Copies of this chain bind each other. A is one copy, B any other.
Amino acid sequence: MSAEAPQAYDDLLEAYRRVSNVESAVGVLSWDQQVTMPDGGAPARSRQLSTLSGLKHELLTDDGIADALETLDRSELNDEQRAVVREIRREHERAAAVPQALIEQISAKSSEALEVWESAKADADFSQFAPVLEELVELRREYAAAIDPDRDPYAVLFEDYEPYLGLETAEQVLERLRDELVPLIEAVGDSDVTQPDPFADGTYSEQAQEDLSREILTRIGYDWDRGRLDTSSHPFTSGNQFDCRVTTRFLEDDPLSALTATVHEFGHAFYNLGLPQEEYGTPLGSSRNLSVHESQSRLWENHVGRSRPFWESVADDVREAFEGVEDIDGETFYRAANRVYDDNLIRVDADELTYHMHIVVRFEIERDLINGDLDVEDVPEVWNDKYEQYLGLRPENDAEGALQDIHWSHGNFGYFPTYTLGSVMAAQLYAAAEDDLGDLDGSIRAGEFEDLQTWLRENVHHHGARYTTDDLVEVATGESYTADYFLEYVTEKYGDLYEL
């Protein structure tokens, strides 16, 4: 290391910690807005958030960071330092490349779009939303061009959410899932087997559902000294290695929904709570991108929370929690939690199998929109055609079609694929954990999660953002990122459930 490197490195870290602390403050204000803030607080909150976002941008693009990065360019660094510099440089360069005025335009247009989207969805009328969506697509194309005018703009946007796997990998995985899941879903639809629904006729109090959620969170290892459970209209996770909170929401007629959501959010929180505390505020103490985050939530939601041994282990609690299911056994709960919905048009209600077809539709449409291969006005028809092609279903209106998700109205294009990339990664990580730990099914059936927790902490959480996504998968599993494990998992599981 050159003589000046240590000082520049320390300067960089100190400057970055301030960026990170402002970002954490934004997280607290957003959590509060969604969980505790009275409705009337919105005007003040949006101004507070706007000031903090502006300050974060100023701190991140500050000359001090630019100078330190330039000095460190000419310095010899160890692996850890190189990783830190790589991450901060990436964030700094992206922020510096985009004019502040464009950021503000996107932000303002998104606020407008959100309102238009809500009203268009209420009227099930995509044509109301089309003009503002077109403007957002154009602004995001400008944004991508500001970062790199020579590359495919959708690839550039995608990297805001998953910077390292590359769009080509995403495309290959999504194509492969489309090719292999469509026939599997058809076979499930053709099967004579139907799964039971022991909760079909009852209503289930919020209090009973909440008590059960808390019990199960405790069981799977949520650290209440560093977390809390609240309700919000959409479940989410917010926080860091000192304080990471989950939310859920309770449906009176479907207690499985809240349980699944809670375990999903636990996976996100358990990741953040496993980041090294001594590295708080630096890339080594920060989570990797959205794909890896989603791998953690999906691993707990699906590989643990929708597994046969899990339902055998919690069956007693479920029977005690709710009236009318006193005679239901673990196997029946397990099957109920894994029904495949061949008549569902809504992504957030989808099962583990059809879910990815919802993603494929969105991915193909937003990629073509951003790259100029699809006109906004044609979105509803293309959307409906693709649903027919991949899921054998045709939406009857735009509310259950192209208007169902909030993402585009937020100006987010390139986010959707990370849901599937994460699910695929979850299967690969779980297979590696099973390989290392032996009889995971047995432990889960016995209600013992410590081995799995330790494995995830040591092989994933502990690294923070030290490795790129692809390297992290390789370090944790010994193999390159692959969809093999996911496809093997769903083929075996649903083959068994539906006697294929």
- Distance in angstroms between the alpha carbons of A453 and B21 in the assembled complex: 40
Total copies of this chain within the assembly: 2
With A25-B48, A52-B22 in contact, is A43–B228 under 8 Å at CB? no
Q: Using a CB-CB cutoff of 8 Å, which residues 224-249 of chain A contact chain B? A: 224-228, 239-243, 245
A22 to chain B, nearest CB (A): 6
A438 within 8 A of B: no
Interface of A is mostly: helix
Question: Are B243 and A21 neighbours in the complex by a CB distance under 8 Å?
Answer: no
With A29-B25, A226-B38, A228-B38 in contact, is A242–B55 under 8 Å at CB? no
Question: Are A44 and B240 neighbours in the complex by a CB distance under 8 Å?
Answer: yes
A42 within 8 A of B: yes
Question: Are A45 and B281 neighbours in the complex by a CB distance under 8 Å?
Answer: no
Q: Which residue of B lies closest to A41 (CB)?
A: B243
- Distance in angstroms between the alpha carbons of A44 and B243 in the assembled complex: 8
A47 within 8 A of B: yes
With A25-B48, A47-B17, A55-B22 in contact, is A242–B280 under 8 Å at CB? no
Question: Are B24 and A280 neighbours in the complex by a CB distance under 8 Å?
Answer: no
A332 within 8 A of B: no
Q: Which residue of B lies closest to A19 (CB)?
A: B51
Q: Which residues from chain B contact A224 at a C-beta distance below 8 Å?
A: 38
Query: Can you sample 24 A-B contacts with CB below 8 Å?
Result: A17-B47, A18-B51, A21-B50, A22-B51, A25-B25, A25-B51, A25-B52, A28-B28, A28-B48, A29-B29, A36-B228, A37-B243, A38-B224, A38-B227, A40-B243, A41-B226, A41-B239, A43-B242, A43-B277, A44-B240, A44-B243, A44-B280, A45-B242, A55-B55
| Inter-chain pairs besides A36-B36, A44-B241, A45-B242, 12 sampled, C-beta below 8 Å | A18-B51, A18-B54, A21-B47, A22-B52, A24-B44, A25-B48, A25-B51, A38-B227, A40-B225, A41-B226, A41-B242, A43-B280
